[in-house]
Chain A
């Protein structure tokens, strides 16, 4: 069965550095999402992306964050100047139709980001 893959599985970065988290969505999917889960807390929506632009974003997704689909297969999340509170598990997801299609999203296994 096709999978969403995320790399790296664990990223350790110094505070203030830029970090890029990478995702390869399922190949025929058109909608892409990023979520995060701080240790011991709820999963939180960050952003959704369709047709090469952001379709929705949460309050968490401020100017420090950006997303990009640099080629036909990758979907990236960049954090420009990392803070300690950015430490979390970041999940990528994709779906063939959007949120309101009642189609489930497929999640990757996540990247654990640790900011020192």
Chain B
């Protein structure tokens, strides 16, 4: 059964810092991995989707990498801003139809 973990659980950084969020999964037979953002009281916004055949995806200041063999993904946020404050979730889609298995999230606070 796929298990997804994320570290750290919470992170507080000053504005302008580059930061890395980590996601680990136990079963490497994945179809894709997605990073989401969740603002308080809101739904999930898809940030980046990495297919199993890809190593990384970039969107603006965000870069996500995938190392399937080691069961890891990282989300790199460059030049963080207070507006980046949110909970970041990773979710893994397995080949054999477990659907999305979500991690518990990392709660990020970027201080002005």
Contact = CB atoms under 8 A, between A and B. Distances in A.
Interface of A: 4, 35, 41-45, 48, 56, 58, 91, 93, 99-100, 102-110
Contact of B31 (A100, A105, A110): A100
B1 to A, nearest CB: 11
Contacts of A48: 99
19 contacts: A41-B104, A42-B102, A42-B105, A44-B102, A48-B99, A58-B99, A91-B43, A91-B44, A93-B44, A99-B100, A100-B31, A102-B31, A102-B32, A102-B51, A107-B43, A107-B46, A108-B43, A109-B41, A109-B43
B86 to A, nearest CB: 14
Interface residues of B, number: 23
Name the prevailing secondary structure of the B interface residues.
strand
B70 interface: no
B49 interface: yes
A43 B32 contact: no
A102 B99 CA distance: 12
Given A4-B43, A42-B102, A102-B49, 6 more contacts: A48-B99, A91-B44, A93-B44, A100-B31, A109-B41, A110-B42
Interface in B32-67: 32, 34, 41-46, 49, 51
Contact of B45 (A35, A42, A107): A107
Nearest to B42: A109
List the 4 shortest-distance A-B pairs measured between CB atoms, nearest first.
A107-B43, A104-B46, A45-B99, A43-B102
B99 A99 contact: yes
Interface of B: 31-32, 34, 41-46, 49, 51, 89, 91, 93, 97-105
A4 B93 CA distance: 21
A43 B31 contact: no
Contacts of B44: 43, 91, 93, 107
Contacts of A56: 97, 99
Given A42-B103, A56-B99, A106 B51 contact: no
Contact of A106 (B31, B46, B100, B103): B46
